[in-house]
Amino acid sequence: MIAGRLAQVRGRVAQAAIDAGRDPADVRLLLATKTQPVERVREALDADARARADDPTLAAVLVGENRVQELVAKGPSLAGLTALHLIGPLQSNKVNAALRWASCIESVASIDLAERLSARATDPLDVYVQVNVSGEDTKHGVEPAEAVAFAGAVAALPNLRVAGLMTVGARSDDPAVVRAGYALLRGLRDELVASGTQTATELSMGMSGDLELAIAEGATLVRVGSAVFGARAT
């Protein structure tokens, strides 16, 4: 089941890229594994390995955890199989635990957190600046008007490499509203690169229900959970 759903998602990603006039190889897939048992995550990674054996042009999927507790619990079983990203908020008292397993933090939205990561990272650490493009109070992230300056300040810290920007799309049934938020993030990324942060080329945006909209607006990384694993346990 997981293998079949993963193949379907890869097909959706490829078709969305083609429809947008993009190379499907430019869009990577991150498995959002919140609440998923490690056995199911490994099943997905095994299916991915088989798919890549058949088609060496495919890039390995990544794994993203929302919670540090789950990252720590699953890390020992997943280390070495793929890169692990933290995609949820990170409290300052959990920085050390996160850094033990995560190769990338996608949710940097305060200078205090960035400074703590900079101070404790032993190797250059990839980070994404999270931007709240929807303005919803329930969403994490810096304001769009502050994003470029903030990301530049983060990029100036030692041991941090700003790889790009991340957002969670607007909670709306109107595709135009959702897509506008993704277009906004793309514009901010372009402005950030033009301002001198040339490493910040990535756009982590789009999930199971709207990945086509995100890819149309330039997503380079889409975060997919339910489309691969089915409905999430609570």
CATH of the domain at 193: 3.20.20.10
With respect to residue 224, please indicate whether it lies within any of the assigned structural domains. Answer: yes
With respect to residue 76, please indicate whether it lies within any of the assigned structural domains. Answer: yes
Residue ranges making up the domain that contains 222: 2-229
Helices within the chain (DSSP H only): 2-19, 38-54, 68-78, 95-101, 111-120, 144-155, 175-194, 211-216, 226-229
User: 233: which DSSP letter?
Assistant: P
Q: What percent of the chain has pLDDT over 90?
A: 96
Averaged pLDDT, 69-89: 96
With respect to residue 145, please indicate whether it lies within any of the assigned structural domains. Answer: yes
Residues constituting the chain: 234
pLDDT tens, position by position, 171-214: 999 999 999 999 999 999 999 999 999 999 999 999 999 999 99
Instruction: Give residue 233's pLDDT.
Output: 56
With respect to residue 234, please indicate whether it lies within any of the assigned structural domains. Answer: no
With respect to residue 207, please indicate whether it lies within any of the assigned structural domains. Answer: yes
With respect to residue 6, please indicate whether it lies within any of the assigned structural domains. Answer: yes
- Model confidence band, residue 231 (pLDDT cutoffs 50, 70, 90): confident
pLDDT tens, position by position, 151-178: 999 999 999 999 999 999 999 999 999 9
Instruction: Give residue 214's pLDDT.
Output: 99
- 138 token code pair: 């329930």
pLDDT higher than 90, residue 23: yes
With respect to residue 67, please indicate whether it lies within any of the assigned structural domains. Answer: yes
Q: Is the pTM of this model over 0.85?
A: yes
Instruction: Give residue 64's pLDDT.
Output: 98
- Model confidence band, residue 234 (pLDDT cutoffs 50, 70, 90): low
- Count of domains for the chain: 1
